[in-house]
Amino acid sequence: MEGQRRNRRWRVGPSTIGYANGPPPRDKLGEDLEEYMTLIVFPAIDLKAGQVVRLAEGDMNRATIYGDNPAKQASAFAAAGAEWLHVVDLDGAFAGKSVNGAAVAGILERFDGKVQLGGGIRNQENVERWLDLGVARVVIGTAALENPEFVRAVAIDNPGSIVVAVDARDGMVATRGWADVSSVSVVELAKRFEHAGVAALLFTDVGRDGLLKGCNVDATVALARAVSIPVIASGGVAGIADIEALAGHVGDGVEGVITGRALYDGRLDLHEALTVARR
Ligand code: AMZ
């Protein structure tokens, strides 16, 4: 990969991500307040067979194709002011290994901000490989349930760079492209990673994802209050009201929000979302 990020890892920590290591100490509340209180808006690029898509409820048979040039989409989000991107290798999540690697590399090449990547990352070698290629944060879902020791080990080795996805159907953790639903609750899984050095939890309400039903703010806030790890909300964002609602809960530990379909359908303006998130 060309570019200056080759073999240079992002330094992600409390100075660059407001809540990455928990809320600021009280005596710091007067300083860097804006940074600490800013909700991160992550525009999403979901990849299926090299194309930019959105699924409904994670169902590969209900995909809407929004483009065939993921790198160009990343540039468009950057032009609107995005500092972060959330990228999902959907084929990878089902296959258990990276499938859309070339598209991800193209995004890394074109996007100067930070990229959070998930889907099919299940072993240390893959984690290290993506971080070396310039990914700022790796998202791990399935392996967090099936192999928590691996997640704890990579979180210790890569502080600030590991995000645990807690994808939930009716409050129960779903894995393997959300095809499997476990008997483990969201809070139970999240608690297994308390004090493990995990940068954030990504909470997706699968039943809302891609359906523009509005974000499950209550469940997101409940999770953020139940653990000390910052929580990123995902699934169902329909418009600016969701961003406003979540921005009011940064103090509870809600660190960010992922939005896809609302942006692609023109219901949410990214620049406006970023502005509202910064209040
Ligand atoms: O839409 C889906 N079916 C889907 C999806 N978006 N399945 C998994 N994922 C995302 C998770 C997480 O970011 O939200 O893939 C990541 C987890 O992948 P894995 O392979 O670690 O479970």
Ligand 1: distance of its center to the CA of 94 in Å?
8
* 100 ligand 1 Cβ < 6 A: no
Q: Give pLDDT tens digits for 65-79.
A: 999 999 999 999 999
Ligand 1: distance of its center to the CA of 121 in Å?
10
- Domain ranges for the chain: 40-277
Query: Are 154 and 131 within 8 A, CB to CB?
Result: no
Closest alpha carbon to 277 in 18, 31, 15, 16: 18
Tell whether the model's pLDDT for residue 32 goes beyond 70: no
* 53 ligand 1 Cβ < 6 A: no
Among candidate residues 89, 167, 205, 209, the one labeled active-site is 167
* 235 ligand 1 Cβ < 6 A: no
Based on the residue annotation, tell me whether 112 is a catalytic residue of this protein.
no
Task: Give the DSSP letter of residue 1.
Answer: -
Beta bridge partners of 252: none
Based on the residue annotation, tell me whether 242 is a catalytic residue of this protein.
no
Ligand 1: distance of its center to the CA of 176 in Å?
7
Residue with CA nearest ligand 1 atom 8: 177
Residue 231, both tokens: 């929580």
Closest alpha carbon to 151 in 118, 180, 185: 118
Instruction: Tell me which of 88, 117, 126 to substitute to probe ligand 1's pocket, judged by most ligand atoms within 8 Å of the beta carbon.
Output: 88
Task: Give the DSSP letter of residue 175.
Answer: E
Task: Give the DSSP letter of residue 3.
Answer: S
* 90 ligand 1 Cβ < 6 A: yes
Residue 123, both tokens: 């072993």
* 44 ligand 1 Cβ < 6 A: no
Task: Please give the CATH number for the structural domain made up of 40-277.
Answer: 3.20.20.70
Q: Give pLDDT tens digits for 131-141.
A: 999 999 999 99
Q: Is pLDDT larger for residue 176 or for residue 17?
A: 176
Collapse the DSSP code of 93 into the 3-class scheme (helix H, G, I; strand E, B; otherwise coil) and give the result. helix
Q: Give pLDDT tens digits for 222-263.
A: 999 999 999 999 999 999 999 999 999 999 999 999 999 999
**Position 20 confidence tier, pLDDT thresholds 50, 70, 90:** very low
Annotate 106-143 with DSSP letters as a single string. Answer: HHHHH--SEEEEESS--SHHHHHHHHHTT-SEEEE-HH
pLDDT score recorded for residue 113: 97
* 178 ligand 1 Cβ < 6 A: yes
* 70 ligand 1 Cβ < 6 A: no
Ligand 1: distance of its center to the CA of 26 in Å?
36
Q: Quick one: which atom of ligand 1 is closest to the CA of 142?
A: 22
- Measured at the CA of 66, the angle between CA 10 and CA 99, to 5 degrees, comes to 55
What's the rounded Cα separation, in Å, for the pair 123 and 131?
13
From 21-25, 88-92, 99-103, 224-228, the region with the lowest mean pLDDT: 21-25
